[in-house]
Amino acid sequence: MSSSEWERVERLLNRVERPARYIDHEWGASREPGFNYRAVLLYPDTYELGMANQAISILYERLNAADEVLAERCFLPWIDMAAAMREEDIPLFGLETGLAVRDADLFGITLPYELTYTNILEALDLAGIPLRARDRGEGDPVVLGGGPCAYNPEPIAEFFDAILIGEGEEAILEIANVHRRARDGGADRVGILRELARLDGVYVPRFYQPVRDAEGALTGVVADTGITPVVNKRVLADLDTFRAPTCPVVPFMDVVHDRASVEILRGCTRGCRFCQAGMVYRPVRERSADSIVRDAIASLKCTGYDEVSLTSLSTTDHSQLEDVLRRLTRRLEGKGISVSVPSLRVDAFSIDMARLVGGGRKSGLTFAPEAGTQRLRDVINKNVTEEELLGTVRHAFDAGWRRVKLYFMLGLPTETDADVLGISDLVRKVSDEARSCVEPSQRGSIRIAVSVSVFVPKAHTPFQWDPQLPRDEIGRRQDLLRSSMPRKGIELSWHEADVSFLEAVMARGGREIADAIEAAWRTGAVFDAWTERFDIGTWLGAFASVGVDPASVAVGEKSSNEILPWDHISCGVSRAYLARERERASEASTTSDCSFDGCTGCDACDELGVEIVLGGGTRGAR
């Protein structure tokens, strides 16, 4: 951006809230001169949410380290800034050099959450790029998606030229190189996309056609000639091949997860049957203790943060966690720098680890029993017993904690009223257990936060065929739970049922959903993930206007042999395994964690040619 262009942006900053979202110049921001390939990486929400995204940070570092490539960050301007930019005719730009997104070679958009889909359209529109891939011309950037929502890309497939399925460390540079070569060789847009479609893990939606029968039911998604019929996810064989980003951009603004972080393992095979992350990130691969310690120290040194978080889906499962924490706390002693461990397992070991890093700090512990009865916990394969939970709570309150947070899910397959009441019952027992560990005079400080979400059936899980409950039935069960929940010291919070309903539509829908997303955006839906912005009315109107019944998508049950909109996308876990797991769920029979107890036959390792990697060789008994 020339200085006169920046002056135009700068003039807007006096009239928008939180101008620090748009000013760049943070420590670690890249502005390397000399490049012939330009990428802009968008997180489709605000700066303060996007700066926490590790995928963006990894891709940013990988691209900027490559020869003659410049990658810039971009976040969706908040409503006030977007309005000001439209008024002044300023197109969406990358933060680092102010490059207009439409002039970039590659516009990478991460797909963190279904409720950011309208934000993607808002970004494309602000950038001046046609919303649908088929309407884009030779001068437009290649719009590339990727991230958690890519495992059912169909609702947004038409907005993307290409979507990367799976992990991006290696793939992003292959994509950039193939694109650059094809571009320099004079290939046209379709030619470039054909080249990209040859890369493992790259899905180019325009080369796949959904086929429907006379009733409109999906009978398959057929690939064009020469295009792979099923796109397998990309996966790193060994996390240690790449260092965690040690010099990420350090924001000025207060952002979520404002700390250094090292991803210490990827994948989780506990096998909760509702959990998409637990299926699509298989197999488990741990970073070694030596590289975790090295990267944590390097990252603190380079960023100046006062906290480093050891992140993953299940940090306390790492086979060398204790070793890592002891080494880190010793090296950081006396510096006012702390280590944090998110996502605790329900066991005494986890409490000991929290105590090791927390020192005097006892902020709060979080556990996720998910269901209130043993039967339902067995159905969902949440291998936690009531005794284990109560024992862990006792251990935590004995060690000085006064706050715990418990996560539950309502509307899980096979749930009955007895299971709903079981949640209240379990909370009561947790509360009694906590009180019994604490002096009577201190019992007033005990807080048990209970957070209840609504089951959303997700692609590539054993429950992908199961329906979400109708909204009025969810309401009835919420009432039942509310009226039976103990009050003293309990803080009950809900996940909006309407939001979960929309999530389910997006998570299970096919390409027919695209028109509704566009209609919703055209009638004002944007930043839907922000509670104060979400309006189910706008969405229902949008679905009606394009003739799609959202309830049939979210609430309809599917048979195990039905063709699913995402059948041409594979995360390695076989459909047969998912069906078998669903069968076992109906028998309330559990399946063990392969990273502790040996392979349970999900096929991911064979299919993807990788295997479990454990830093310490084995994982101990739980």
Which residues contact ligand SF4 (rule: CB under 6 A)?
A: 269, 282-283, 594, 599-605, 612
**Three-state DSSP string of 385-418:** CHHHHHHHHHHHHHCCCCEEEEEEEECCCCCCHH
Which is closer to other proteins, CB of 23 or CB of 399? 23
Give helix then strand counts, H and E, for the chain. Answer: 22, 19
Q: Nearer to ligand SF4 by C-beta: 19 or 601?
A: 601
Burial of 621 (0-12, 13-18, 19+ CB in 10 A): exposed
Q: Which does 600 bind (CB under 5 to 8 A by kind): ligand SF4, other proteins, none?
A: ligand SF4
Nearer to other proteins, 335 or 487 (CB): 335
Antiparallel, parallel or unpaired: β 208-212 and 202-203? unpaired
What is the rounded CA–CA span in Å between residue 277 and residue 167?
13
Question: Does residue 559 belong to the site contacting other proteins (CB under 8 A)?
Answer: no
For residue 104, the partner it binds in ligand SF4, other proteins, none, with Cβ less than 5 to 8 A by kind, is none
In single-letter form, the type of residue at position 519 comes to A
Say if residue 617 is exposed, middle or buried (CB neighbours under 10 Å; 0-12, 13-18, 19+): exposed
Nearest residue (CB) to other proteins, 98 versus 489:
98
Rounded Cα distance, 566 and 583, in Å: 21
Q: Which is nearer to other proteins, 334 or 547 (CB)?
A: 334
| Least spacing, CB of residue 7 vs other proteins, in Å | 10
14 or 531: whose CB is closer to other proteins? 14
Tokens of 173: 């540079």
Nearer to ligand SF4, 129 or 612 (CB): 612
Among positions 34, 216, 334, 617, the unique one binding other proteins when judged by CB under 8 A: 334
Residue 20, binding choice from other proteins, ligand SF4, none, Cβ under 5 to 8 Å by partner class: other proteins
- Phi, psi for 190 (deg, rounded to 5): -65, -35
Binding at 282: pick from other proteins, ligand SF4, none (beta carbon under 5-8 Å per type): ligand SF4
Pick the binder of other proteins from 31, 86, 181, 301 (CB under 8 A).
301
CA distance 100 to 105: 11
Q: Among ligand SF4, other proteins, none, what does residue 604 contact (CB within 5–8 Å per kind)?
A: ligand SF4
CB of 269 to other proteins, least distance (A): 36
Rounded to 5 degrees, what are φ and ψ at 609? Answer: 70, 40
Of 266 and 402, nearer to other proteins (C-beta) is 402
Shortest distance, position 284 Cβ to ligand SF4, whole Å:
7
Query: Which are the contacts of 556, defined by CB distance < 8 A and separation ≥ 6?
Result: 467
Q: Are 384 and 346 in contact (CB under 8 A)?
A: yes
Q: Scan residues 356-385 and list those touching other proteins (CB under 8 A).
A: 360-361
The secondary structure of residue 529, as a DSSP letter, is T
Binding mask 230-259 for other proteins (x = CB under 8 A): --------------------x-xxx-----
Quickly list DSSP for 420-482: HHHHHHHHHHHHHHHHHHS-GGGGGG-EEEEEEEE----TTSTTTTSPPPPHHHHHHHHHHHH
Which CB, 1 or 529, lies closer to other proteins?
Answer: 1
Please, is 250 exposed, middle or buried when counting C-beta atoms within 10 Å of its C-beta (0-12, 13-18, 19+)? middle
306 binds, among ligand SF4, other proteins, none (CB under 5 to 8 A by kind): other proteins
Q: Are 106 and 144 in contact (CB under 8 A)?
A: yes
The answer to the question of residue 400 lying near other proteins (CB under 8 A) is no
CB of 618 to ligand SF4, least distance (A): 13
Nearest to 572 by CA among 614, 602, 613: 602
- Between 206 and 458, CB nearer to ligand SF4: 458
Measured distance CA(450)–CA(452) in Å, rounded = 6
CA dihedral defined by 314, 315, 321, 327, rounded to 10 degrees?
Answer: 180
Q: ∠ at Cα 251 (247, 255), nearest 5°?
A: 120
What residues between 19 and 58 interact with other proteins by CB under 8 A? 19-20, 23-27
User: Does residue 79 touch other proteins according to CB under 8 A?
Assistant: no
- Count of residues in contact with other proteins, rule CB under 8 A: 28
Give the per-residue contact string, 254-293, with other proteins (x = CB under 8 A; - = no).
x---------------------------------------
Indicate which of other proteins, ligand SF4, none lies near residue 594 (CB less than 5 to 8 Å, by partner kind): ligand SF4
Q: Which span sits near other proteins by CB under 8 A: 82-90, 100-108, 298-306, 529-537?
A: 298-306
From 18-26, 45-53, 415-423, 483-491, give the range in contact with other proteins by CB under 8 A. Answer: 18-26
Q: State which residue, 303 or 500, has the beta carbon closest to other proteins.
A: 303
- 2 by Cβ neighbours in 10 Å (0-12 / 13-18 / 19+) ranks as exposed
Where on the chain is the footprint of other proteins (CB under 8 A)? 6, 10, 13-14, 19-20, 23-27, 250, 252-254, 300-306, 334-337, 360-361
